[in-house]
Amino acid sequence: MRDGTGTVQFRDAGIWPAVPAQVADQIRPLVPDLAEKAVTEIRISVTEYARLGDPAYARTLRLGAEAAIAGFADRIARPRAPRQRMADTFYMIGKVEAAEGRSLEMLQAALRAGARVVMHWLTGAAYSAVIPAETLGLLAEALLIHIDEIAAFSATGYARVQQRTADETARRRNRLLTLLLADPAPADAIAAQASLAQWRLPQLVSVVLLSGHDGMPGRSPILPGEVLADMDRPQPCLIVPDPNGPGRRNILDRALAGCHAAAGPPVPVTAAATSLHWAKETLALISCRAIPGHRVAHSDDYLTEIVLHQGKDALGRLISLRLAPLSRVAGPRRKALAETLLAWLQTRSTGQTADRLHIHRQTVLYRMNQIRAMFGPALDDPDTRFELEMALRARRLYTTAR
């Protein structure tokens, strides 16, 4: 890895075996030839490196092979010598591989392919007495340590580029989220930023707000890659593309389990601020316990509750006016009569009211006789019945929210 000065830091991959230093003198003159053979083996073994039509890349590949083999000879000759140049070389190679989009596994496969060429030469040299045969095992161990070290240098450079890319992508996605939530939303700027963030513009989006994520200590939600998320905002926020897609609700419920979340309605991309508004209204109902918070609450499922909550002052007056007859009844009885009246207004059926409240039909008839005595002919007026139902729904909502 690199320290604060930009220097690649390294540590030994293992205890260096006692290889005779003179073996390095046998390897050095053969570096160009071994490098050429290593490049050929890499191109045959790793298809991503078979770029025969790119002379510049072929030179880079050859230089990398020569650096690895020459570095092996240097390590044999001077096991304790600094290896900063080797570390820097393969750190840069790792960065290039990441920047060009190849996988780290391909780079490591190329290193193994090159090592096979060197090991093949060492074996032949031992049999032909160019090098002492008894050193072959030590040389094989030393080669493995050397390959592990330069693989580690390369992986550090590779990871550095990946981290920078991830940071830049996150910054662009956060900027895109901010643009989407603007009111009015700048359509051209959104399109340009979506392209930079590699985010496909959907037909519809839904904004999801979280009431903190205390129920998810130490972790962020695991969401599909196309969902824009900013969990560092004072009000953590998601933008979900194609919210009506198959399985979307279940995915959100699983990802956001343990925290209160509210989703605004699906809207066009440039109207995300509207979805944000409704998500806020819905989250307010969760916060005051007016609606359940055990899964993501979708505003379209709670429009009646939102309307009642928004009109609290006017509805308070409506409750006082229309439900005045019930206010003169004792608490437990008032609650039973209010529940019965609401169920009857919703069903206009004695039987269905009894089923909904899980009581006997005769109990419903008895209560309705009391209610009619209180409200009189007002129960026969459609407008009054509508206002009564609205008042009773609001009363139930406010009672739940206390």
Residue 1: the pLDDT is: 45
- The H or E element spanning position 205 is strand 204-210
Q: Average pLDDT in the 209-227 region?
A: 72
In 3D space, the residue among 269, 284, 298 whose CA is nearest the CA of residue 181 turns out to be 269
Helices and strands in the chain, H and E counts: 16, 6
**Do residues 262 and 373 make contact, with C-beta atoms less than 8 angstroms apart?**
no
Helix ranges, 8-131 (H)? 23-27, 31-45, 55-77, 84-99, 104-127
Q: pLDDT at position 5, please?
A: 41
Which of 7-16, 96-105, 222-231, 393-402 shows the highest mean pLDDT? 222-231
Identify the band that residue 216 occupies on the pLDDT scale cut at 50, 70 and 90.
low
The pLDDT tens digits of the residues spanning 269-295 come to 999 999 999 999 999 888 777 777 778
pLDDT bin (cut points 50, 70, 90) of residue 14 is low
Instruction: Provide DSSP, 320-345.
Output: HHHTHHHHTS-HHHHHHHHHHHHHHH
Least confident of 129-143, 366-380, 387-401: 387-401
Rounded CA-CA distance 287/304 in Å is: 17
Residues in Cβ contact with 221 at an 8 Å cutoff, skipping those fewer than 6 apart: 213, 229, 231, 255, 256
Highest mean pLDDT range out of 214-218, 234-238, 255-259, 369-373? 369-373
C-alpha span between 259 and 276 (Å, rounded): 18
Q: 9-13, 77-81, 107-111, 367-371 — which is least confidently predicted?
A: 9-13
Asked if the model's pLDDT at residue 15 lies above 90, the reply is no
Q: What are phi and psi of 297, to 5 degrees?
A: -95, 120
Q: Dihedrals φ, ψ of 220, to 5°?
A: -105, 155
The pLDDT of residue 401: 57
Per-residue model confidence as pLDDT tens digits over 294-349: 789 999 988 888 887 777 777 788 888 889 999 888 888 999 999 999 999 999 99
pLDDT digits (tens, 9 = 90+) for 66-110: 999 999 999 999 988 888 888 999 999 888 888 777 788 888 898
CB neighbour burial string for 332-369, b if at least 16 within 10 angstroms, e if fewer? eeeebbbbbbbbbbeeeeeeebbebbebeeeebeebbe
Residue 106 is predicted with a pLDDT of 86
Q: Which tokens belong to 205?
A: 């989006």
Q: Which of 274, 268, 279 is nearest to 201 (CA)?
A: 268
Average pLDDT for 354-361: 94
- Confidence band, pLDDT 50/70/90 cuts, at residue 4: very low
Q: What percent of the chain has pLDDT over 90?
A: 45
Average pLDDT over every residue of 143-149: 92
- Residue 242 to residue 43: CA distance in whole angstroms: 43
41 pLDDT higher than 80: yes
- Mean local confidence (pLDDT), 163-187: 89
Least confident of 96-100, 205-209, 397-401: 397-401
Contact between residue 113 and residue 147 where contact means Cβ atoms under 8 Å apart: no
3-7, 86-90, 390-394: lowest mean pLDDT where? 3-7
Report the sign of the C-alpha dihedral through residues 311, 312, 313, 319, in that order.
Answer: positive
pLDDT value for 154: 92
Whose tokens are 């916060």? That residue is 287
Task: Tell me: pLDDT of 10 over 50.
Answer: no
Most confident segment among 17-31, 207-221, 303-317, 357-371: 357-371
pLDDT at position 47: 79
What mean pLDDT is reported for the chain? 86
pTM of the model: 0.56
